[in-house]
Structure formats: C-alpha cells, structure tokens
Copies of this chain bind each other. A is one copy, B any other.
Amino acid sequence: MAAIRIAVIGMGKIARDQHLPSIASNADFDLVASVSPRDPGVDGIANFTSLDALLAEGPAIDAIALCTPPQVRYELASMALARRVHVFLEKPPGATLAEVDALEHQAAETGTTLFAGWHSRFAAGVAPAKAWLADKRIERVSIVWREDVRVWHPGQAWIWEPGGLGVFDPGINALSIATEILPQPFFLTSATLSTPANRAAPIAADLAFRTAAGAPMTMDLDWRQTGPQSWDIVVETDAGTLSLAKGGAVLTLPSGTVHNDDEEYPGLYTRFAALVRDGRSDVDTTPFTLVADAFLRGTRNSVEAFDD
C-alpha cells in the first residue's frame, strides 16, 4: 500500500522532538513537506511559509500533522479538510470545544480522517492500567502533575495567552489518561485556578472531581516545580492501589512494577495510519471538556508575576 504523504505544520519543539522521529520510523508515512513561517524547516524536505502556499505550490499531500499553538489550529485544519487532506491534531485539539465539534462535522461531511491525538494515552502503562481497573471498585483517585515550565515550555508565549491553557497544557495529559483508564466518567466539583499577575493563563490549579459512582478525586497542577518532576496518578480500589508514574510510563500494581519504554508518539502515528486506512475519525473531547469545566466553574486567584 502506498505510504501516506504527510506534511508537518508548525515546526516548533514538539514537531522536532517527537513528530519528525516518529514519522521517520513509520513505514506507513512519507514526510514530503513542512510549514514553518519563521525557519527553513529540515534538510531535504520542502518547507513553505504557510499552509496556503503548500496547498497551492507544494507536492501532493494526503495528510497533515498540526503542531501549531491551539489558537490558530481551526483555520488550518478546516482548510485541509476542505481539500480532503487527513488531519492529525496535536493536543489540545483546539482553542474551544465548539470549533472541534465543527471540525468533526466537516470531517464527516468530506469523508476525511480527523484524529485528536492524546499522546499520554499511548504511554506504556496506560493500556494495562485500564485492563486492571476494568472490574475494580474505585475508592479514591489522586493526580499530581508538577513540572518546571521553564524546562518544558521555554519562551512559548502562546501558552500563557487566552486559549493557551497555561498549566492545563500538561494537566490535560493527566486527564487524557484518567478518562482512558477509569471505568466510569467523572466531573469537576470545585477548582481554584492561580494565575500570575502578568499572565492570562493559570500557573497552578487545585481541582476536585467525583466519579459518577461518587468516588472522590483530587488533582494538583503546578508549573513552578523545580528539581524532580511529578507526573503521578494513584487509584485506590477494593483490590489495592494502582500507581502510574512518570506520565504513564511506570505502572505499579499490588503484584509489582512494570517499566516499559516510551512509545507515545510512535503509538499515535500507528493509530493515525490505521484511521486513515479505515476511513474513520477519532475525536474524543472528554479531556478538553473537563478543562473547559475548570475554567467555567473555577475560583480564580491572582498570584505573583512569573517570567520565563
């Protein structure tokens, strides 16, 4: 079967760190172009300064991977879908829920694949965690997601703007795992969002959720963590405690610990290829809905100005 000719749009940190290596190692894809308004792209690949220019003058493409900031993603995705070009959306899938709904409708109408990728769901421990929890009674869930924004998002001004999500940019990864592994839906009961005086998006958040069966959940997000970083989900059940550490890579069950290699972005591309081959879309907005609910219902604190 012919390889899927793909272009990467938005050649920032995540594109270079993750998308390019995953595409290079996947025989289902052939990287044929990139779009980057501000740099020359990568050696040997045609680079364009806009998606418009690529579609008008570039090589034929079957798919794009959209790695731009979320605030500009709708226009680009919609332009691609209108040309029947399949779209892989980095997380979060947009700046608003309603625009993602509109893209999903457009994909269905044009018979084109739209994939809202949640990379953390492809972490090594997630699938076995989901399988183990399937028949357990959930008693309590604790999520701690604390990292150093200066290390992970250096100079990314967009992330502090409205729609950039602030500390929910990493926090949505935890929610993408929790919504995948827990056997019940859950929803927010209270939230406090702390926003630096000089920024529009929160740097920290304390959240409480409950599952539909009534089990309490807490979530502690902070971008001011120096030293060791924390990306941990602990689920207490009637059969003992499950722990997912290092963002989902390390799973500990009552029977012991399993530590597997990071396969997140390769897993995403395997899934995207399968969706394109099958002519299907996968647009789960549940993690994004929970974030919108935190902004909708959360209490806001102003905290000390923060510069990176």
Binding site for B on A (CB under 8 A): 74, 78, 95-99, 101-102, 105-106, 162-163, 185-188, 190-191, 200, 212, 286, 289-293, 295-300
- Give the secondary structure class of A's interface: helix
> Which listed residue, B185, B290, B298, touches A105 by the CB 8 Å rule?
B185
How far is A97 from B187 in the complex, measured between Cα atoms in Å? 8
Identical subunits present: 2
Beyond contacts A74-B187, A96-B188, A162-B190: 14 other A-B pairs, Cβ-Cβ < 8 A, are: A96-B293, A96-B297, A97-B292, A98-B186, A98-B187, A98-B289, A102-B185, A105-B212, A162-B297, A163-B297, A291-B296, A292-B292, A292-B296, A300-B300
- In the complex the two chains form, is A96's CB within 8 Å of B212's CB? no
- In the complex the two chains form, is A96's CB within 8 Å of B162's CB? no
- In the complex the two chains form, is B299's CB within 8 Å of A200's CB? yes
- In the complex the two chains form, is A98's CB within 8 Å of B200's CB? no
- In the complex the two chains form, is B162's CB within 8 Å of A299's CB? yes
How far is A162 from B95 in the complex, measured between Cα atoms in Å? 21
Pick the 10 closest A-B CB pairs, nearest first. Answer: A98-B187, A96-B293, A292-B292, A99-B187, A163-B297, A295-B296, A295-B295, A292-B296, A102-B212, A162-B299
- In the complex the two chains form, is A101's CB within 8 Å of B163's CB? no
What is the minimal beta-carbon distance from A135 to any residue of chain B, in angstroms? Answer: 18
- In the complex the two chains form, is A296's CB within 8 Å of B102's CB? no
